[in-house]
Each structure stands twice: as C-alpha cells, then as structure tokens.
Structure 1
Amino acid sequence: MPLRLSFNPASPETSLGDDPLPHPSSEDVASSSRNASNFNLSHELAHAFQTPSYHDIRSRLLVTDPTQEQLELFLSQELKPNKESVQEALTHAKKTTLTNLVSTYFQHSENATRLCLNLYQNVHNARHHLYTPLLELFNVLPGDSHVPIDKSQCNLAFDVFLKLDTFENPFPSPENHIFQETQSCFSQLKHKLDTRLRKSKSRVRLLHHATAGPLCSPYLPHSFKKKEITNISQLNVAAKGTFVLDKDLDTIDRLVSRLHAGIESDKLLFRHGLDRGRDVYSVQVFLKQLRKSHVSHTHQLEELVDHICRWFTNVNRSRSSLLKEMHIPGT
C-alpha cells in the first residue's frame, strides 16, 4: 500500500491557519510540551547504543564494500523511511509552511546521512592504506620498543615510510567547512521550526481564551484548535530530531578533526624519518612514536564508526517518528 498522508482539506473557518491537520485530542498539547521540556539529550544518546537497530546497522555496515555505489545502495536500504517513501507521502500533502519544513527536514537528514557514509569510506581508506601497513610492520619488529632493531629491520621500516609518505589524508580538514555547512542547515531549520512552533502554541492559547466565552465559542470551531495541536505535535518531533542530529554532527565533526590532525602528525613523522635517512637509531625513535599514535588513532577510527552507526539509529528513529505523527494509513 503506498504511503499517504491523511491531510484533510481546510474548511472556511480555518482561514487563520495554513496547516489543515486534524488531531484526535487537545490533551496532546500538554503532553508534547512536557516531553519537550523533559527531553534529556544524554539519555537519548546513551539509549541509541542499546537499541537493536544500532547493532543491526553496525553489523550490516561492516560487511558492506565501501565503494560509492555500494554505500548509496546501503543508504537506500537502511535509511528509514527511505527517500521514495517520503516523496510518496509528501506528494499527497497540501503544500503549506509546515509541509515545506517537514520536507526540508527529511532532505537535510538524508544529505547528512550520506555525508556520514562518506566518512565511513574515509575510515576504510585510513585503515587499509595507512594503519594496516603500519600494524604489519610492527608485527615483524621486536614487540618491545626498547629492544634495538637491526639494519634489515631499519631498511624495512624506511621503505614503509617511503610508501606511506605518499598517502593522502582521507579526512577533511576543519577549514573544509563541510560539517559547518551541514550544521548550518540544521540550525536554520531548527530556528524555523521553533518559530512555527511558537506560532502554533500562541494560536492555541488565543483559541483557549476565546472559546472560554459563551458568546465566542460558536464562531471558533474546535477543528481549528485540533489542527494547531497536531501542528505542535509534529513540530515538536521535527525540532527534537533536528536538535539530536545537530549534536550528533557536532560530535562527529570533532572526531573527524582529531583524526585529520592525527594523520597529519603521522605523516610528519614519516617525513622526519625519511629526512634522517636509514639511520637505525633515528628510525627506531620514530617507530616508537608511531606505535603510540597507532593505538590512539585506530581507537578513534573505531569510535567514529560507532558514531556513524549511532547516527543511523537516531536519524531513522527521528524520521519514522515524524512520519508517524503525520498519520499515514496502514502504518
């Protein structure tokens, strides 16, 4: 069954608003407000690691060939609801300020998810072309960094330095502004959602006071109040989702910056090692430093993969909750 939004046509009495969305109960206003005020970001982020969807996403991502084609396929299969479902749903919605904001939210969340998958490709490149060759080198050298290496081991390490010196850092530098642009989109959207949310809450308060008078109530239909209550519920879901995803991006941004800086530091060690030539003592000094950074940077790579999987968990939950709020028949 195709996904369809059950937006009802506006009646003449609802001319004060532009979003004809009915809602079954006005009690959801108080509930939505409580949920928004009691929302705990730390709890939400911690909970993401405990959900089955996180582990499912992670297990499927780790066996995916990190080519652009395969990652696009992964996106189409794992992003819930997917692009086609969202487009089908929005096609049947009346074009209003609210539906435009909802459409923008879905587009931003999809674009940001694609960015996260590109980072997973960068993780693979760093592991395969940089840290795996280093680990293979460490495995044939003395396990104790204080044990002197011989000339043949020095030459082997020097040759590895030569190869890795040409490795290009796969992670964007902070000056690239990729994340800043993406986060700016979410910030602008959050501002618009908050503005629209305040507008709907103000309307509900005005209607509440207006309908309290016996002379006014016949002229202010309850359907308009229900419509605004539905708007509030949907806007709360979208605003909450935007807030969580923006914080996720902020964390991922910091991890990527650290990885970029770490790889640049390793490349500098390669360069210094090459500048010193095949000197056993100098090569051993740089190997000792690289062993330390290797542990730290491989851990950061794993941490980034964790956050990419958590991103999927949060974005899927957020997108699904929003579409559910919009009353899709058959779901």
Structure 2
Amino acid sequence: MRIPLLLHVDIPSTLRVGFEQAGFSLVTMLRENDRSPILPAGGAPGVKAVLTIGSIGLNASEIAALPDLRVICCQGAGYEKVDLKAAQARGIQVTNGAGTNDTSVADHAMALLASIARNITNLDRGVRHGIWQQARVTRPQLTGKRVGIVGLGNIGQKIAQRCALGFSMTVAYHNRHVRQECDWLYCASVSELAQWADFLIVCTPGGAGTRHMIDRQVLAALGPEGFLVNVARGSVVDTGALIESLQRRTIAGAALDVLEDEPLVPAGLLGLDNIIITPHVGARSPEAQTAMFALVLENLTRCFAGRPLLTPVAELPA
C-alpha cells in the first residue's frame, strides 16, 4: 500500500518519479503562507507524511487535523513554524534539509549584494528606456569593504568566505555564540556590527528569537552609506523600519530575498528605487533542489523503514 505524502511545497516533475517508485502517493496542496488551507477540499485521509518549509511550517491545530501523521519534512534548513512540542507530544518525527542549499543561498546573497551596491537593476532599466549618460552614476565597489554577517551558521560562513577570499573584504559577525574556530571579528550586538559594517548580510534562522532583530536602531547604526541584504527570513527585519530608512535615505539600499508576509509585498517597498526584491529563490538552483529532495526522500524512506533519520530536528529552536 502506498504511503500518502502531503505536499505543501512542490516537487519538480523530474524528481517526483523517485518518490513514487519509493512507494509514496503524492497529495498536492501547495501553500503560499501559513494561513493557507492545509488539506484539499476533499480531504486527504490517511496522510502519514508532510513536506513543508520552515516559513510555512505546521502548527498544533494543523498537526491535530492529521491523525495518521508520522513525519514532517522541512525542505530546507529552517523549521521555525513547525510546532515541535505538538509534534513531539504525538511522537511525530521532524526533519530538515540541513546542508543541502547553503551554497545556493550564499551565491544568491552575493548576487544581491553586488546588484544593490552597483545599482544594477536601475542601470539596466535606464538603458532599456533610452537613458545612457544620465544613468552612469558612481557606485561603491565591493572590494576592500567591511561586511557584517548576522548569523554565522553554514550559510553565513560560506558568505563570509566569498566576501573575504573573492573581494578581499574585512569580515565581522554576530552570532548567539562566538565561533572559536574562526578568526573573524566578533561583535557582541547586531547594532555594534551594523555600525562597523559597510554591508550587513542577514542569514540567521527565523523564529521568535530573531523577530525584528534588524530594527530601527540597527538600521540607524548601519548609516546612510550602508547596505542591507536579507537571505534569512522576512521576520528578522522590521519592515516598517526598513521602509522608513529607505524612504529617508538613512541607509543606502537593501536587497531582500524574503519578506515578512510573503508573497505579499508591502506597497511602501514597491515605489522605492533603492531596493531589490527577489521572490525567495536563494535555494532554487538545480543543484540545491536535487540535494534537498534526495535528503527528503532518504529521511522518509528511513522513517517508514524504522531506521534512524539523517537530519532529525530534536530540539526546540532558541
């Protein structure tokens, strides 16, 4: 008998066959946010596994609505909106995609940083509208600048390496704990880091512990020549404070791959010329997707075979 797997995020058609051959029946109910319906209109009886992402998750009432659920798989590294207590109370296992998309997200962070610092989207738009000489504004180079990394996990370390080795930047970071194995400068607060940095790149986990970590005080510390890049979670940045800072030019610009209420984009951001927004695509490279879904399938297979999971989420997030 096939095992019903509820998909809250899509699996590329080229990779679906592997799940089907492994004995899973795919029940598609894609969700744009954590307020979308969790089940198709006709229901999904017997669902034993759910594939989701950290920014959508699965809350306690949703878990309760799935009485046969045995495992929740988060496609990427994040799992902040999965109710771990509710899952643990039911003996439901939770997995994540740790290590599968780090390279892709780090690459995207660098693309965003270069694009906003060098004003690439506005320059392209100007040329397409017949403007050449007027569009040739002077913009800062990346090489030799100071970059502050908020969250020095796997992704943060890869971004730091790209900045240091590729652009000869001086690197500093803020993290919950000092990383004894690295020589980069540690700042005890995000505000201290922002004041020091030319570029501030956010790649910390989401969740209650990091909500609005980038607030008015941090943005003020970053200053009128500073740039913000966020490839973490939209909730980490206070959107209202960011809009105000961009409107008043108290920071130079921002590049975001994530938003607080995605896919909804605040109107206050849309009219600004000093921001770049991409639709949460940092992890969407073919290489990352292949690795993520291979890990999901391996964890699912192990779960229903009674074998240890490769990437279990065992503890509650800080």
Q: Which has the higher helix share?
A: 1
With structure 1 as the length reference, what TM-score do the two structures score?
A: 0.26
Q: Which has the higher contact order (CA 8 A, sep 6+)?
A: 1
Q: Which has the higher strand share?
A: 2
